Amino acid sequence: MAGKVLPACKPYFLNSKITTGILRRIIKTSLCTLLLFSVSLISYFVLLSASYNWRSTIATVDLLQPTNLSHIVFGIGGSARTWHRRRGYSEFWWRPSEMRAMCGLTRRRLKRLVGGEPALRVLAAGTDRHAKHSAAARMARIATETYGLGIEGVRWFVMGDDDTVFFPENLVAVLGKYDHEQIYYIGAPSESVEQDEIHSYGMAFGGGGFAVSYAAAAALYGVIDGCLERYAYFYGSDQRVHACFSELGVPLTREPGFHQVDLRRDVYGMLAAHPVAPLVSLHHIDYVHPISPLFPSQLDALRTLFNAARTDPARTLQQSICYLTGRSSPVLNWSVSVSWGYTIQLYPWIVEPNQLEVPFRTFKTWRSFRKGPFGFNTRELAPQTCPASVH
């Protein structure tokens, strides 16, 4: 019985020549088909991955390129009333062949300026529905509108006023530390505490300039109009942008090189003891005394600082301290503080570094012209503390 069952289990047809022939042909055909199919599939994937890799390699290589000026689009807000007077300041930092900018001005005066300023394009934002606040609303929209234009190769949108001067190399160095594909809102609050109390310590004051990463501009793009409606009662455009970023849950990244300069009178003390960080911007230059007593006009005074900055941008206003002690010179103990490109202070006595790095209070607060408080420590400029200074 078992002998009869077993052959049934045997694949007997293998013994048949015809079946084998058919089988061979079937196998051959399927093998061929399989081979062809595999070859095409493999080549498809190879090509696909090759082209994919090729594309992503290009993108990666591009991203790995360090941030430079060509990656920044400036948005300059101003009024036509002040533009002609203040445009002189732009000569210090504006480089038409290397930089790109959008300029938001009040529409009424638009015609006069178009063509008059070939280096700057005027942004005609449709913000008339924000009625009496349309100027501030337009400024607030500079970043998102510029984003909306879809300009190639932009990583950062940097806002400023027409009386803001930038130090371009330092701006690039600061922004280069951050990933523009992440959401960043970078700037600094006001120097005058009274201003921070009124507005916010967490707000980038617009005149000092602030930077919005590409990703942040994309996020802002979708919500800005709603924000402008909701915060129509605010005075400034920078407040609206801040309020909008708060809705998105984006905090301010503070960079001490941005300077709103909410100060009055003489800013010498602040410039002579700048924090150890690249100097990115200065603002309100029309509202403070010329930064050097050697020049009656601010334009000329600033020119000397920019001449130095062109030679060595990273070191501009950076403070260095040294001492000539009694050991090296038996008659003198001298302290020397250098603010690169700006001033040297000589003290014929020893002043500790933790004192030297505190700015002299040569200025007043922005709103009330008081002695303080400021967002940093200050020391009094009394005759007994007064150094000899050289500009």
Ligand X SMILES: *[C@@H]1O[C@H](CO)[C@@H](O)[C@H](O)[C@H]1NC(C)=O
Helix axis angle for 80-93 and 298-311, nearest 10°, is 30
* Cβ closest to ligand X, residue 124 vs residue 350: 350
Burial 323-349 (b: 16+ CB within 10 A, else e): beeeeeeeeebbbbbbbbbbbbbebee
Contact pick of 326, 328, 352, 386 for ligand X (by CB under 6 A): 326
Helix (H) or strand (E) holding 219: helix 214-230
Task: Based on the shown chain and the rule CB under 6 A, indicate whether residue 331 belongs to the binding site for ligand X.
Answer: yes
CB of 288 vs ligand X, minimal distance in Å: 33
Q: Which residue has the tokens 């009625």?
A: 131
How far is Cα 225 from Cα 79, in angstroms, rounded to an integer? 22
Cis bond before residue 359 (omega within 30° of 0): no
* Cβ closest to ligand X, residue 62 vs residue 115: 62
CB of 153 vs ligand X, minimal distance in Å: 6
Contacts of 203 (CB under 8 A, 6+ apart): 189, 238, 239, 242, 252
Task: Based on the shown chain and the rule CB under 6 A, indicate whether residue 57 belongs to the binding site for ligand X.
Answer: no
The interface region with ligand X, picked from 29-37, 65-73, 293-301, 304-312 by CB under 6 A, is: 65-73
Q: Which residue is nearest to ligand X (CB)?
A: 326
**Structure token digits, residue 110:** 């638009």
Contact pick of 30, 43, 65, 328 for ligand X (by CB under 6 A): 65
The interface region with ligand X, picked from 47-55, 122-130, 326-334, 367-375 by CB under 6 A, is: 326-334
Contact pick of 62, 97, 152, 249 for ligand X (by CB under 6 A): 62
Task: Based on the shown chain and the rule CB under 6 A, indicate whether residue 152 belongs to the binding site for ligand X.
Answer: no
Binding mask 243-282 for ligand X (x = CB under 6 A): ----------------------------------------
With 0-12 CB in 10 A as exposed, 13-18 as middle and 19+ as buried, what is 316? buried
Q: Which residues in 71-90 contact ligand X (CB under 6 A)?
A: none
Tell me whether strands 165-166 and 281-282 are parallel, antiparallel or unpaired: antiparallel
How many residues line the site for ligand X (CB under 6 A)? 8
How far is Cα 168 from Cα 251, in angstroms, rounded to an integer? 24
The interface region with ligand X, picked from 15-23, 64-72, 335-343, 367-375 by CB under 6 A, is: 64-72
Name the residues that contact ligand X, by CB under 6 A: 62, 65, 68, 70, 326, 331, 333, 350
